[in-house]
Amino acid sequence: MPDALEAFAQPTLVGRSSSHFTRVARIFAAEMHIDYSFQIVRDLMSSDPGDYGGNPALRIPVMRTSRGVWFGALNVCRELWRQSSLKPRVVWPEQLDEPLLANAQELILQAMATEVTLIMSTLADASGANAHHAKMRTGLVNMMSWLEENAKSVLAALPPHRDLSFLEVTLFCLVTHLEFRSVLPMAPYSELKHFCQHFATRASIGETPYRFDP
Ligand SMILES: N[C@@H](CCC(=O)N[C@@H](CS)C(=O)NCC(=O)O)C(=O)O
């Protein structure tokens, strides 16, 4: 295939290797065996949507494909699945139709978002000393405690005939990122750590380690 056509056919993922939402998308790409080029966002303080693949929310990940641009991890994962010829059995958030599973997915995504706000607000104001910051930390600890208490039942309640679930990928990316960014020590969360150790045996995890892009 000529270079130009090949570049057009291969999606471009816009993100960072240190970002947990980006890692969710990268794990899905690896699981779907989809090659992509990786465009690193160098400055997360930029206010130019052009630096975020055109995302007006100034957030990553974003994926450019021949069909258009996809904003956000869930959209990207769904499009990767649609493009995949493997079509693995994936459990998506809308299939979590009972409170335990639905709440677990909600808290995982909220904890990821809270972590982003904590990290970004600390970057902007290194003291991190304000009432909202303290409330967010309390909320984060509460959410992680809930996830720790319910981890076993949540994982047992997921549909057994699955190759992958958005819930497990996001949970793995959240827990490992809290450690990677030293936001919250994970040692006391034994169930969550146990889940991560088990999930980390997948090839897609070894292929997508967190690291700070140069
Ligand atoms: N709703 C988005 C959230 C993405 C998000 O918050 N990404 C973080 C990086 S992990 C980000 O872009 N942070 C930049 C900022 O907060 O300014 C998604 O699901 O992908």
Can you give the pLDDT at residue 5?
53
Query: Are residues 95 and 79 both part of a single domain?
Result: no
Are 111 and 147 within 8 A, CB to CB? Answer: yes
Structure token digits, residue 65: 């494909």
Query: From the alpha carbon of 24, which atom of ligand 1 is closest?
Result: 20
Domain boundary among 52, 87, 122: 87
- At which of 30, 60, 87 does a domain end? 87
> What is residue 123's predicted lDDT score, i.e. its pLDDT?
82
Q: Is the CB of 177 under 6 A from ligand 1?
A: no
* pLDDT computed for residue 122 by the predictor: 85
Query: For residue 4, what pLDDT is reported?
Result: 52
Q: What distance in Å separates the CA atoms of residue 132 and residue 3, rounded to the nearest whole number?
A: 50
Same domain, 125 and 77: no
Residue in 32, 38, 45, 48 with CA at minimum distance from that of residue 10: 38
Do 179 and 101 have their domain in common?
yes
Residue 128: predicted pLDDT: 66
Residue 112 shares a structural domain with residue 195: yes
- Specify whether the CB–CB gap between 62 and 52 falls below 8 A: yes
pLDDT value of position 135: 94
CA 208 to chain centre: 11
pLDDT, position 124: 78
Residue nearest to atom 10 of ligand 1 (CA): 19
Specify the residue with its C-alpha closest to ligand 1, atom 18: 72
**pLDDT value of residue 125:** 74
Does a structural domain hold residue 47?
yes
Residues of the chain with pLDDT under 50: 1-3, 6-7
| pLDDT for the residue numbered 212 | 97
34 lies in which domain range?
3-87
Minimal-distance CA residue to ligand 1 atom 1: 72
Query: 112 and 95, same structural domain?
Result: yes
Q: Are residues 32 and 45 in the same domain?
A: yes
Q: What pairing do the DSSP bridges indicate for beta strands 62-65 and 68-71?
A: antiparallel
Give the CATH number of the domain where residue 44 resides.
Answer: 3.40.30.10
State how far Cα 163 lies from the chain centre.
18
Binding site membership of 109 for ligand 1 (Cβ less than 6 Å):
no
Quick check: is 212 in a domain? no
For tokens 């790409």, what's the residue?
29
Q: How far apart (Å, rounded) are the C-alpha atoms in residues 178 and 170?
A: 12
**E-state strands within 138-181:** 164-165
Chain segment 110-120, per-residue pLDDT in tens = 999 999 999 99
Total structural domains in the chain? 2
Could you give the 3-state DSSP secondary structure of residue 15?
strand
Confirm or reject: Cβ of 119 under 6 Å from ligand 1.
Answer: no
What single DSSP character describes residue 185? -
Which of 33, 55, 87 is the last residue in one of the domains? 87
> Is the residue at 46 inside a domain?
yes
Please, are residues 87 and 81 in contact by the beta-carbon 8 Å criterion? yes
Question: Both ends of the chain: CA-CA distance in Å?
Answer: 31
What CA–CA distance (Å, rounded) separates 45 from 147? Answer: 31
- What pLDDT does residue 130 have? 83
Whether 53 is in the pocket of ligand 1, judged by its Cβ within 6 Å, is no
Q: Whose CA is nearest to atom 20 of ligand 1?
A: 72
Which among 183, 190, 174, 48 has a CA at the least distance from the CA of 112? 174
* Exposed / middle / buried, residue 50 (Cβ in 10 Å: 0-12, 13-18, 19+): exposed
